[in-house]
Amino acid sequence: MLLIDQDFLPQAIALLNTAKSYINIATFKAEISLKPRGRALRLFYETLFTKRKSGVEVNFFLNWNTEHRSVPLCNMGTLLELKKQKINVYMLPNNRCCHAKIIIADRAQAIIGSHNLSIASCHRNFEASYLITDKVSVDRLCYIFTRNCSNATLL
C-alpha cells in the first residue's frame, strides 16, 4: 500500500500496534515535539513507548556520529528520550549516515520510504512510503536490519 504525505502516520501507528515481540526502526531524523503540529507524531512515540513498556523489544537506528556531522539537532533530544524509555538506540559504524527510513513489526509487516519521524516529514513535505506485507521482502529487511545491528554501536 502506497502511503503519501499524511497517510503515513496513521499506518505507522497501526503497524506499531500490531507488534507483539519487537519493533525495528531506522530513520535519519527523529523529532519528539510538544508543539501543536507535533501532536500526531507524538502519538507515534507514545505508542512506541507503550509497546516498550509492555515488553516489546524496540531497536532504533538514529542518524548519529561522533563528529556530529549532518546530524539533525532534534536527534539529541530524541536520543535521550528513547534511552530513558529503555529503547536500544544504535549508531552505524565508521560514522556512516543512517538515511534509511524503515519500521518493521514482528517480521510480519514493514514500512519503507522517505518519511522521517519529524514534523516536516509527516505534515509539510512531499513524502512517499510503502507498507510491505510480502513475507520475502519483510524477511529481507529484517536480515539487513539485524546485520547492521551486529556491527553498530549501542548508544
pLDDT in tens, the chain (155 residues): 988 988 999 999 999 999 999 999 999 999 998 888 888 899 999 999 999 999 999 999 998 877 767 888 888 999 999 999 999 999 998 888 889 999 999 999 999 999 999 999 888 889 999 999 999 999 999 999 999 999 998 99
Q: Can you give the pLDDT at residue 6? A: 84
- Non-local (6+) Cβ contacts of 52 within 8 A are 58, 85, 86, 87
Instruction: Tell whether pTM > 0.85.
Output: yes
Q: Can you give the pLDDT at residue 13? A: 97
Q: Can you give the pLDDT at residue 24? A: 98
Q: Can you give the pLDDT at residue 71? A: 82
Q: Can you give the pLDDT at residue 143? A: 96
Q: Can you give the pLDDT at residue 25? A: 98
- Non-local (6+) Cβ contacts of 123 within 8 A are 6, 37, 40, 41
Domains and CATH numbers, the chain: 2-154 (3.30.870.10)
**How far, in Å, CA of 23 to CA of 14, rounded?**
12
User: Minimal CA–CA distance to 46: which of 22, 72, 12, 21?
Assistant: 12
**How far, in Å, CA of 18 to CA of 7, rounded?**
17
